[in-house]
Amino acid sequence: MESQFFQAMQERHACKLFDENKRIPKEQLETILEYGRLSPSSFGMEPWRFLVVQSQEMKERLRPLCWDQPQITTCSDLVLIKTIIGPLTPGNQYSRDMLSRRDLPQERIEAYFKIYDTFVTEKMASEGLFSWSSRQCYLAAANMMTGAATMGIDSCPIEGFEKEKIEALLEMDPAKEQLTLIITFGYRVNERSKKIRLPRETIVEYL
């Protein structure tokens, strides 16, 4: 018998049009957000921040900035996943607080501080903090979408948007946080499309 998780993986798809008259129950929406909150992240920094848009007026304002995609205005709930930037910089108190949560001797924690600062300094030099921290957000996004599918809730990840314009609309300070991804949640109108994936033999190697 297929597990609930495997079945959800089979059924999850990018829903392009939602039923505007159906709303996700509050408890289930909170469960989806909890799946995101409990996701793993590098160094345990949890760089994601979730902005839930339920206002139809705001959805209408966002749609032109998202390539006029209908998911934006037909979904039940729209989640903008932001990644923090400033708090992740070397020596910032946020990283100290997050690393100090570990149940470790103080000298071990101090060692983690040095390792983290060195790692982040190298990331900033090679690719920038946003590139690194936004990848953590995709872990949370995947868990949220798969978790939603286990409850019969459809979703669609969206990268097609005008990042700077949305950040300006939301009065975000790019030095502190930036928009990574948008996910729409709701209930599909049309039948889901057939899942097409490469065969396992093509993508998996063993050493």
**Per-residue model confidence as pLDDT tens digits over 1-44:** 468 899 999 999 999 999 999 999 999 999 999 999 999 999 99
Q: Please state the rounded mean pLDDT for residues 76-101.
A: 97
pLDDT at 102: 86
Q: 4-189 has which fold?
A: NADH Oxidase (3.40.109)
| Environment class of 142 (CB within 10 Å of its CB; exposed 0-12, middle 13-18, buried 19+) | middle
Kindly report which listed range (1-15, 48-62, 113-127, 143-157) carries the lowest average pLDDT score: 1-15
Give the strand pairing for 48-53 and 177-186. Answer: unpaired
Structure tokens at 191: 């039948």
Provide the residue count of the chain. Answer: 207
**CB-based contacts of 57, cutoff 8 Å, min separation 6:** none
**What letter would DSSP give residue 87?**
G
Give the predicted TM-score (pTM) of the model: 0.95
Q: How far is CA 169 from CA 13, 52, 125, 179, in A?
A: 29, 15, 29, 12
Domain ranges of the chain: 4-189
Average pLDDT over residues 202-206: 97
Q: Would you state the pLDDT for residue 173?
A: 98
Query: Amino acid identity, residue 69?
Result: Q
120 Cβ contact list (under 8 Å, min separation 6):
88, 89, 90, 95, 129, 132
User: Cα separation of 154 and 167, whole Å?
Assistant: 26
Q: What is the pLDDT of residues 95-108, one digit of tens each?
A: 999 999 988 999 99
